[in-house]
Structure 1
Amino acid sequence: MSIYNNAPIKPAKFSWSRNQNIEDLKVSDWVQPVWETEANKNTDWDVVLIGAPLSRSSISVSGASEFPDYFRRSWDKFSTYNIDEDLDLRALSIADLGDVMMHYTEILQSHRNIHDVMTEVCRRFPTSFPITIGGDHSITAQTVKGMKAAFPDKTIGILQFDTHLDLRSTEEHGPTNGTPIRQLLEVGVVKGRHVHNLGLHGFFNAPSLIKAAKIYEVQYIPLGHIRKQGIRETVTASLEKLQKEVDLIYVTVDIDVLDIAYAQGVPASTPGGMRTDELFAALSEVGKCSAVKAIDFVCIDPTKDTPAMATVKTTTYAVLTFLTSYLRSRKFSS
């Protein structure tokens, strides 16, 4: 695709036959594949989607590399109209840029490709909002590094929805889905006090990880505390604090933040996590924040999902919920 120069990205292996001349649009009719001739000419999209189908770097066995494809296949189950907000997403222009190319055996090469694609996307689509669809959580270290390469003078903060701190030792674990935040802290791309983790709960973070969080000054609020002060209030407070300290905010959503009852298609699913309505409320607050410049959704494994693909559909709903808030707050606010 000429629009990417030499960036390592290719058309998605699945795309819909779209009908745009109808009153009732499905998401499958709305999202435009950028590899189509007319779409290829446009660089002024409101939102761009990037698939990062990597899961070889997952600590636990994972088919998260399959999620970008399943995510796209779920689009015909959703309308662009949100009845709760009386808002139609068709007011946003959105392009599917395709999938980052992955090396069959070399994880580090796949990571470099993710980095390079994110850098190119930020440069080529400077007014567009990038949404990266993982893949396991290792991709986040590369997308954030890619943004930093595109905007070297900008200070980046991270709002992380997760059951885990993702601060495991890189010496022991390398560039896995258990170390993306640690990787960013060790090379100074992000400062620890500019990382806010919301969603930790239960028995899933060892004392050594809490120690690392305190050493790096990572800000974290366990889910029990979040529920006491309110999820919307907690998210808003974290975003407001970050806005005072950084130039742009990157949001990463590990779907394992959800309780296992709501997200069975997750390799590290746990009891005691967020309910779907809590995550949707959080993402509604995220969408309102003008300092948020990118978001990813990671660690969804369709091969472990329910027969009805409940986790896949939940994640698609989460993306659309964020975009509803993004549309209302940023495009219709004035």
Structure 2
Amino acid sequence: MTAFTGPPEWSGTSSDSNDEQLGHLVEATTLPSAGEYDAVLVGEPYDGAVIGRTGAADGPEAIRESLAGVKSHHFDAGPVSRTADLGDVTLPAAGDVAAVQDAVADTAAAVHETDALPVFLGGDNSLTAANVRPLLDTGSVGVVNFDAHLDCRAVPEGGPTSGTPYRQLFDAGLDGYAPVGVRHFETSTAYHDYLRERGSEVVTAEEVGADAVAAADRALDGLGDVDHVYVSVDIDVLDVTAAPGASAPTPGGLTTRELYRTLRLVASDDRVAGFEVVETAPPLDADDGRTVDAAARAVAHFLAGWSA
């Protein structure tokens, strides 16, 4: 069943008529009208599968609030494309993680079928499996995942978690996978070997820091000639100093500048068919809201790179 809560009304935080912000530009819309826009936001307020600390269910609302105050212009790419907001996905009142994934996948499929680019605001990483799954029925698919972790754990008896989405997607027919910004000592050898056996291109945080352009090229080249590219940002790809309000923050991560540059380069690929930012947990954030602000600006930078 495809259902959304009512889309929020957006407004800027500045009263200066020359101070154009995304809050002045993003419009509320409905699914039948989504195709009139270049991109549509979809909130996914769920953290029932998170392995680390909970709080990501509050991510969509907080990211929207921060994004509303972001100025509209990028120096290289120009203004952000015409964007609207569908509201939040209606989640099942009861059910395990697999049932939630199935329900969200139905809604994600309807959004993918519009002419607008879906931009999913998470929520935990388990819903990546739901967001990408509909694309598998439309051609070959590769994912570029900005993340500290590989998220290809075997699905336990209790069902999927925020650490299993890419194992689930490989089992469902995913054609390519390139995790970017991953950390040393944040995975086990078994998961590293699992991805290597499937030809995945693993790009570490150190390699992004050394050359963002080369890192983006390696990730995209590693997907081969897939028809569609889906881009995911787990906010824990950032160093803990930049994103303390992540479900699983650790040191050694990317700076915001490194993430934004690499993300814009990946977003400019003509095959991009969807984007998400996940694992932003506002209740765990610093007093200055730095994690939420970083996640909101990741959305803005992605949209700038995609529309350039």
Find the counterpart in structure 2 of residue 121 from structure 1: 111
Q: 1:231 aligns with which of 197, 208, 212?
A: 212
Find the counterpart in structure 1 of residue 171 from structure 2: 186
Q: 2:239 aligns with which of 250, 255, 259?
A: 259
TM-align CA RMSD = 2.3
Q: 2:23 aligns with which of 25, 28, 31?
A: 28
Find the counterpart in structure 1 of residue 50 from structure 2: 58
Find the counterpart in structure 2 of residue 303 from structure 1: 283
Find the counterpart in structure 1 of residue 128 from structure 2: 140
AA partner of residue 116 (structure 1): D
AA partner of residue 228 (structure 2): L
Change (3 A) 1:86 1:44: closer
Is 2:76 aligned against 1:85?
yes
CA offset digits 1:94-117 (Å, max 9, x no partner): 110111111244233321221011
Find the counterpart in structure 2 of residue 73 from structure 1: 65
Change (3 A) 1:75 1:162: closer
2:77 touches 2:305 (CA, 8 Å); kept in 1? no
1:259 touches 1:271 (CA, 8 Å); kept in 2? yes
CA distance in 2 between counterparts of 1:240 and 1:216 reads 15
CA distance in 2 between counterparts of 1:109 and 1:99 reads 17
AA partner of residue 163 (structure 1): A
1:50 touches 1:99 (CA, 8 Å); kept in 2? yes
Find the counterpart in structure 1 of residue 10 from structure 2: 16
1:64 touches 1:301 (CA, 8 Å); kept in 2? yes
CA offset digits 1:245-273 (Å, max 9, x no partner): 21111111111111100000101000001
Q: Tell me which structure has the larger Cα radius of gyration.
A: 1
Find the counterpart in structure 2 of residue 291 from structure 1: 271
TM superposition shift of 1:17: 4.8
TM superposition shift of 1:120: 0.6
CA offset digits 1:60-110 (Å, max 9, x no partner): 23110111011111134212123x337222xx2211011111124423332
CA distance in 2 between counterparts of 1:17 and 1:288 reads 28
1:8 touches 1:116 (CA, 8 Å); kept in 2? no
Change (3 A) 1:41 1:140: closer
TM superposition shift of 1:41: 4.4
Q: How many positions carry a matched residue from both structures?
A: 306
Instruction: Choose 263-272 or 72-81, whichever is displaced more.
Output: 72-81
Is 2:79 aligned against 1:94?
no
Find the counterpart in structure 2 of residue 219 from structure 1: 201
Structure with more helix by fraction: 1
CA distance in 2 between counterparts of 1:272 and 1:296 reads 22
> Runs of 5+ in structure 1 lacking a partner?
1-5, 329-334
Change (3 A) 1:9 1:207: same
AA partner of residue 291 (structure 1): R
CA distance in 2 between counterparts of 1:160 and 1:138 reads 13
Is 2:101 aligned against 1:111?
yes
CA distance in 2 between counterparts of 1:295 and 1:225 reads 23
1:282 aligns to what SS in structure 2?
Answer: helix
Change (3 A) 1:172 1:212: farther
Deviation above 4 Å: which 4+ runs of structure 1? 17-23, 39-42
Is 2:147 aligned against 1:162?
yes
CA distance in 1 between counterparts of 2:143 and 2:68 reads 32
Q: What percent of counterpart residues are identical?
A: 28
CA distance in 1 between counterparts of 2:185 and 2:94 reads 33
CA distance in 1 between counterparts of 2:10 and 2:37 reads 19
AA partner of residue 87 (structure 1): G
TM superposition shift of 1:296: 0.7
Find the counterpart in structure 2 of residue 331 from structure 1: none
Normalised by the length of structure 1, the TM-score is 0.85
1:8 touches 1:100 (CA, 8 Å); kept in 2? yes
2:236 touches 2:246 (CA, 8 Å); kept in 1? yes
2:263 touches 2:301 (CA, 8 Å); kept in 1? yes
Q: 1:280 aligns with which of 254, 257, 260?
A: 260
CA offset digits 1:220-255 (Å, max 9, x no partner): 122223434x1122202322443x421111111111
TM superposition shift of 1:32: 0.5
> Runs of 5+ in structure 2 lacking a partner?
none
AA partner of residue 213 (structure 2): R
Structure with greater contact order relative to length (CA < 8 Å, sep ≥ 6): 2
CA offset digits 1:11-35 (Å, max 9, x no partner): 24x5335799944322112110115
2:179 touches 2:219 (CA, 8 Å); kept in 1? no
